[in-house]
Amino acid sequence: MITTDYLVIGSGVAGLTFAIKIAEHFPHKKVLIVTKGEKEESNTKYAQGGVAVVIDNCEDSFQKHIQDTLIAGDGLCDKSVVKMVVKEGPKRLQELVDWGANFDTNSNGNYDLGKEGGHSEYRVVHHKDITGYEITKTLLKRIHQLENITILSHHFVIDLITQHHVKVVQEKELTCYGAYVLNENDNTINTIQAKYTLLASGGIGKVYGHTTNPAIATGDGIAMAYRAKARIRDMEFIQFHPTALYNEEGASLFLISEAVRGFGAYLRNKQGDRFMFTYDERAELASRDIVSQSIDKELKIYGEPHVYLDCTHLDITEFKKHFPNIYQKCKDLQIDISKDWIPVVPASHYVCGGIEVDTYGRTSVNNLFSCGECSRTGLHGANRLASNSLLEALVYSHNIFNYLTSNSTVFYEVKIPEWIDSGTEVPNSDVLIQHNLEKLQSLMRNYVGIARSNNELKEAKTKLNSIYQEVEELYKISKVNTALCELRNMINVAHLIINQSLERKENKGGYFNIDNEHNNILVTSNN
């Protein structure tokens, strides 16, 4: 049994920022970060565009950023949350800078601000096209300077510990006591008892297979919170990024940042038409839901596998300065962006819903907090405004820190049993896991993608149930392993997406059901 004051699940921007703050404030308390891959690996590491923050007070204002967020969210944002997050932005960004993060500046020494879909002003602070890498590097450097933080990589959290596991409990309300964690280095299962647990476990992209997300994005935190009976909301709002670099195999797709469209790139279909004008007067800079749904329509009309991003009219020297990573990636694939159009396709990118939290990041389970992509704060509504995710993670990790440093909790003694792993090594288990994973991903792409229908969703539910039965049987008899747990988690997440989609009767933002077409959102403005 390992004991700690604060257990942080995940080493992306949300988990690392919270860990730094709480460890600095309480130098005598123990902070334990567990993360399932290398400590650098997360969605955060791949963030390109940047952090949306109001910096330029001449052109921009909090009011404009608030309004853009509300419009993108299509009427489903929590207005008070939007106001709070936008207004906190500059302070939280400054903290990153104080810890050593470098963001690009222009010749006047001011931040070089980018623009992305749905933003009415230039307000995206960035480090070239590798903003997430810069943030991760900065946060990890600070983490290593703090002696009361331990970071355990290749430690996979299997499940949260709640009353369900503990025999004698004093608390009347559902409470979290820590987590069971598989140490992948020696295949042992550790029981970690924590006063407070933070779920900062990121996104779900891999549920769809074709995704901009890295392999870690399997929705584990949302699934374990759901099994622990925490409230989960808005899972029908999956954000598909319009411009993932097309490749025939699909799987993990390299992102071509929306900032490239902010820089002036055009979307074209095979005929060469700038089709976005047909769908929205903001054309390429309409919000992400509208651009992805428009591309999906074009692909269906022409039966093509991808559309194109045209950068040939842009200043390529400037392009290389702003987007060196994207330029190089295209070059490696023999795409010369000064002459060739880039083949792009929408891909699963971000989950707007997740574990419901209040403004202090509290979930519906006592002592369990959540922030970052796995949480549902009310900021994004039906569709997240580009570059509002890193911002949200920074603001909420601070809010949780504030709450925990100004409130105390009464803790009762609990006896937590060790994990009982009675399973065995099942022959061909890898093959069974891979087979079911592919079935799941293809099901989600074909029946629960950008455009859904009631019949497809019902069909998806039935098919998912048969995958669920097979995988649960395997889980019952198998020795616990990461691939099997991840598959089980992705099935839970798929279940939530499908069921919450079926409950939604109106098209909003990223949720588009052809049976609700009287509310068709492909109109000039989604305000």
- Output the six-digit token pair for 38: 């290398």
CA 511 to chain centre: 17
Strands 238-245 and 232-233: unpaired
Q: Assess 48 for contact with ligand SIN (CB under 6 A).
A: yes
| Residue 175 backbone zone (phi > 0: left; psi -120 to 50: alpha; other: beta) | beta
Residue 457 or residue 485: which is nearer to ligand FAD going by CB? 485
Q: Report the interhelical angle of 131-145 vs 388-406 (nearest 10°).
A: 20
From 185-193, 251-259, 365-373, 430-438, give the range in contact with ligand SIN by CB under 6 A: 251-259
Residue 257 or residue 478: which is nearer to ligand SIN going by CB? 257
Per-residue mark of binding to ligand FAD, 25-54 (x: CB under 6 A): ---------xxxx---xxxx-xxxxx----
| 283 contact choice in ligand FAD, ligand SIN, none (CB below 5 to 8 Å, kind-dependent) | none
Indicate the DSSP class of residue 519.
Answer: G
From 85-93, 262-270, 296-304, 389-397, give the range in contact with ligand FAD by CB under 6 A: 389-397
Integer Cα distance of 486 and 273 in angstroms: 42
Please calculate the CA angle 341-124-392 and round it to the nearest 5 degrees. Answer: 115
Q: How far apart are the first and last CA of the chain?
A: 53
Give the number of other Cβ atoms within 10 Å of residue 87's Cβ: 14
Positions in 151-170 near ligand FAD (CB under 6 A): 156-157
The per-residue DSSP string of 48-91 comes to: -S-EE----TTT--HHHHHHHHHHHTTT-S-HHHHHHHHHHHHH
Count of residues that interact with ligand SIN, criterion CB under 6 A: 9
Indicate the helix (H) or strand (E) that contains 402.
Answer: helix 388-406
Closest CB to ligand SIN belongs to which residue? 49
Residues noted as catalytic: 288
Per-residue mark of binding to ligand FAD, 391-430 (x: CB under 6 A): --x-------------------------------------
Task: Kindly tell me which residue out of 44, 257, 348, 399 binds ligand SIN, with binding defined by CB under 6 A.
Answer: 257
Indicate the helix (H) or strand (E) that contains 240.
Answer: strand 238-245
Selection from 74, 50, 49, 58 nearest residue 121 by Cα: 58
From 180-188, 255-263, 354-362, 418-426, give the range in contact with ligand SIN by CB under 6 A: 255-263
Per-residue mark of binding to ligand FAD, 217-236 (x: CB under 6 A): ---xx---------------
Count of residues that interact with ligand FAD, criterion CB under 6 A: 42
Q: Assess 493 for contact with ligand FAD (CB under 6 A).
A: no
| 307 contact choice in ligand SIN, ligand FAD, none (CB below 5 to 8 Å, kind-dependent) | none
Positions in 253-292 near ligand FAD (CB under 6 A): 255
Cα-flanking dihedrals φ and ψ of residue 210, to 5°? -85, 105
Selection from 269, 307, 263, 306 nearest residue 285 by Cα: 263
Q: Report the interhelical angle of 482-503 vs 454-477 (nearest 10°).
A: 150
Residue 13 or residue 337: which is nearer to ligand FAD going by CB? 13
Positions in 300-359 near ligand FAD (CB under 6 A): 350
Integer Cα distance of 522 and 323 in angstroms: 30
Q: Assess 14 for contact with ligand FAD (CB under 6 A).
A: yes
Give the number of other Cβ atoms within 10 Å of residue 164's Cβ: 11
| 43 contact choice in ligand FAD, ligand SIN, none (CB below 5 to 8 Å, kind-dependent) | ligand FAD
Indicate the DSSP class of residue 364.
Answer: S
Burial of 393 (0-12, 13-18, 19+ CB in 10 A): buried
Task: Kindly tell me which residue out of 68, 88, 220, 258 binds ligand SIN, with binding defined by CB under 6 A.
Answer: 258
Report, in angstroms and rounded to the nearest whole number, the Rg of the chain calculated over CA atoms: 22
Give the number of other Cβ atoms within 10 Å of residue 215's Cβ: 14
The CB-of-242 to ligand FAD minimum distance in angstroms stands at: 13
Q: Assess 507 for contact with ligand SIN (CB under 6 A).
A: no
Positions in 378-397 near ligand SIN (CB under 6 A): 386-387, 389
Per-residue mark of binding to ligand SIN, 302-341 (x: CB under 6 A): ----------------------------------------
Task: Kindly tell me which residue out of 14, 259, 267, 330 binds ligand SIN, with binding defined by CB under 6 A.
Answer: 259
CA 24 to chain centre: 26
Q: Assess 49 for contact with ligand SIN (CB under 6 A).
A: yes
Per-residue mark of binding to ligand SIN, 335-374 (x: CB under 6 A): ---------------x------------------------
Residue 178 or residue 343: which is nearer to ligand SIN going by CB? 343
Q: How far is CA 378 from each of CA 34, 73, 91, 353, 355, rounded to the nearest angstrom?
A: 27, 9, 21, 8, 11
Residue 69 or residue 478: which is nearer to ligand SIN going by CB? 69
**Which residues of this protein are in contact with ligand FAD, per CB under 6 A?**
9-15, 34-37, 41-44, 46-50, 131-132, 156-157, 200-203, 212-213, 216, 220-221, 255, 350, 372-373, 387-390, 393
**Which residues of this protein are in contact with ligand SIN, per CB under 6 A?**
48-49, 257-259, 350, 386-387, 389
